[in-house]
């Protein structure tokens, strides 16, 4: 079993490296991949960079170069629902790209042309296991749709629209892209998002991003222990 772990920013991966042994680094397509073991499980970890294109480059390189069996994308997100507040966790049972819009051609908003899907399902077994870990850790979590787009969501009206249109519980900038690459490559994936910003948006993010990112790392380490 080889597990791929992707984060958008350094803070989302750096603390994971503290749990890794037999570590080596390689660069592929401008992305530094850290290869090692966590609790006896082979792990390939990488910082993708922010946004959908960077996330896609990282995921495709990870799958093709390192032949990972599963991909977990960790990171932070803004809440899109009342049930999740700062430091809570959103777990995707599916992902959607809210900024994909060819509706002028008669398509539903969010449709991924070429694969003709709006929602891409996360792996049910991985999702269930992550949820079980979060529950055991006493973390408030919610399983649902995570929405991805290339913009930081600051306006409440925009958040409300995404929640209304897609039923999304959290919004971020990479998960849908990771999910799309995994989907076309037939690699099981799950997305874990620690809530770093609520109503305060950018102010909350600046305060809580690093702490929220650590929550995701803690969940992943416990997930690996159970593999």
pLDDT tens digits, one per residue of 112-160: 999 999 999 999 999 999 999 999 999 999 999 999 999 888 788 889 9
pLDDT for 40: 94
Instruction: Assign residue 159 the CATH number of its domain.
Output: 3.40.50.1580
The pLDDT confidence band at residue 86, using thresholds 50, 70 and 90, is confident
- Percent pLDDT > 70 in the chain is 94
pLDDT tens digits, one per residue of 206-217: 566 677 778 898
Phi-psi region of 127 (alpha: psi -120 to 50; beta: other; left: phi over 0): alpha
Please provide the average confidence, as pLDDT, over all residues in the chain: 92
Q: What is the mean pLDDT of residues 187-212?
A: 73
pLDDT for 155: 82
pLDDT for 27: 96
Question: Could you write out the three-class secondary structure of the chain?
Answer: CEEEEEECCHHHHHHHHCCCEEEEEEEECCEEEEEEEECCEEEEEEECCCCHHHHHHHHHHHHHHHCCCEEEEEEEEEECCCCCCCCCEEEEEEEEECCCCCHHHCCCCCCECCCCECCEECCHHHHHHHHHHHHHCCCCEEEEEEEECCCCCCCHHHHHHHHHHHCEEEEECCHHHHHHHHHHHCCCEEEEEEEEECCCCHHHHHHHHHHHHHHHHHHHHHHHHCC
pLDDT for 102: 94
pLDDT at 52 over 60: yes
Q: Is 81 exposed, middle or buried (0-12, 13-18, 19+ CB in 10 A)?
A: middle
Q: Closest by alpha carbon to 137, among 223, 195, 40, 37? A: 223
The pLDDT confidence band at residue 199, using thresholds 50, 70 and 90, is low
The question of whether 12 is a catalytic residue gets the answer yes
Q: Which of 60, 123, 197, 204 is catalytic?
A: 197
pLDDT for 203: 46
pLDDT for 154: 79
Q: Which residue has 């994909």 as its token pair?
A: 100
Q: What is the mean pLDDT of residues 28-50?
A: 96
Query: How many other CB atoms sit within 10 Å of the CB of residue 207?
Result: 14
pLDDT for 201: 47
State the total domains in the chain.
1
Question: Domain range for residue 193?
Answer: 2-225
């Amino acid at each position: 079993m080889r597990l791929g772990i992707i984060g958008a920013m350094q803070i989302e991966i750096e603390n994971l490296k503290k749990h890794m042994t037999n570590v080596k680094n390689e660069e592929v397509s401008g992305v530094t991949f850290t290869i090692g073991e966590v609790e006896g499980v082979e792990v390939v970890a990488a910082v993708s960079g922010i946004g959908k294109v960077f996330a896609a480059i990282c995921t495709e390189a990870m799958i093709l170069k390192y032949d990972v069996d599963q991909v977990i994308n960790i990171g932070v997100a803004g809440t899109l629902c009342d049930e999740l507040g700062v430091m809570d966790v959103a777990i995707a049972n599916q992902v959607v790209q809210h900024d994909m819009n060819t509706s002028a051609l008669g398509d539903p908003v969010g449709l991924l042309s070429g694969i003709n899907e709006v929602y891409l399902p996360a792996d049910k077994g991985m999702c269930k296991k992550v949820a079980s870990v979060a529950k055991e850790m006493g973390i408030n979590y919610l399983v649902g749709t995570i929405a991805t787009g290339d913009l930081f969501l600051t306006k409440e009206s925009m958040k409300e629209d995404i929640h209304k249109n897609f039923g999304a519980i959290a919004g971020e900038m990479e998960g849908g892209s990771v999910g799309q690459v995994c989907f076309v490559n037939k690699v099981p994936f799950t997305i874990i998002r620690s809530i770093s910003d609520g109503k305060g948006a950018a102010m909350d993010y600046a305060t809580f991003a690093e702490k929220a990112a650590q929550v995701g790392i803690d969940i992943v380490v416990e997930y690996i222990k159970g593999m």
